[in-house]
Structure 1
């Protein structure tokens, strides 16, 4: 959100300069209202179309599902629209006040101070030379670009820059370094240094399996898990194999799945206590009296029954 004021300023200054320059180009034999009217007729459509395209461009960003980008786009579109409204209303009025100040020989930064009119000032205003930038564009820049050799050099330079940009665009690193957005004396600088030095890993990768049957009677479990008695070509086993081949895979470590932990937790060989008896009573974690044929028999019954009943996980085993 801190970027929006600078964005609005950059967009607004462009249109403001165009309006001021259009007013200055008007002849001196017409009234002030006529100058403003002619300037708006001359540059008003281009300013309107430019501002409208910017508003629509930011408005499209409001449909992005990412909350930060969506909020930024909405506020930026509203700010650019209000900026345009102020440019064609309030700023035009300020231009009129500035022209009055100039005609009254008042200093721009100190409008309360009035200078004495110089001799022949009105004639000097009528015979005033164009501004430096206007004379530069008219006398030097435009004639230079009209030279055939300069045309060829400009086209060749921009063509080379285009192909160079295409060739080097693959080396651009996505994202923004978090250290750049922090002050140099921030206490988080050391944290990010240690994070880059000791925990330099890539982004997390998630494999999501939908419409999965969690019951042990289903063969889909063996196609996912990676513990013993699971398929050798299961999803987790294939991910583990890919992590062992860095030449052809970017996966650094084997995948961690809750399904393996859940199956191990259900295994009677892994725990001596099932934590819950057949009658519904629980045993404490350190109670060795839970070890017995009743508990093991109950676990065996659980492993033979589906774990999903009407879309809900059975709570027989805890």
Structure 2
């Protein structure tokens, strides 16, 4: 098997914590370089920007974009133009429409564009999807609460336009929701809490539904202290299904039926290698569309300033 030589672009917390180890553990993938203004990895070629990487770097086949979403569109276009396969960290961009030209460009270049949703690869997500497929769903509630100071320390970009605020983790829940439910859902109303000094929300309450009127609610909050919550609870005609720990544990009526360690990013890179072998793309924008609609429909409430 020919190794897929990958460069990571943007070397922050998520790249260090997840991507480096996942690439090392994926057959057919190898980390060949890093491009980042602020960090490097000993023993690997390092470049200040993707432009320098593409012009002066070692031979590579693909880039994994781990930069803030505000700059990913231009970086992806540059990489595709240079004939590279592209993996996009979530969210894939700052808007929905900007992805369409990239999808077309990837097809023209016969290169892979992979818009990743790592939470869909959590171990209990597919068992949950299969369980729900055989049942009548009565209601769904998402409870996604975490401490931004723990998970995004000093990351000012998340509060800027396009940074998504609490929807940066919240979109993980929506990516699971749109995978496990048998029918598409849409936003019907939203309440968004914006700190007075920020351009993105720190908390949000969403109401959603599907074409049949299924009641779906979601609560996202970046101000959680103490225990963190990444739960989706589904009431059905044959019991309650709870996905917890971000999709790694599934319980039926409080009895665990599926649980495994976190290997989401390994599965992402396994999929990336598989896609790149044929130049196929995988770009599902359903979670991003839900966030965009929440901003369109959301009532904006100003709350106390956020100080990191």
TM-score, structure 2 normalization? 0.18
Which structure is larger by alpha-carbon Rg, 1 or 2? 1
The answer to which structure, 1 or 2, has the higher relative contact order (CA under 8 A, 6+ apart) is 2
Higher helix share: 1
TM-score, structure 1 normalization? 0.18
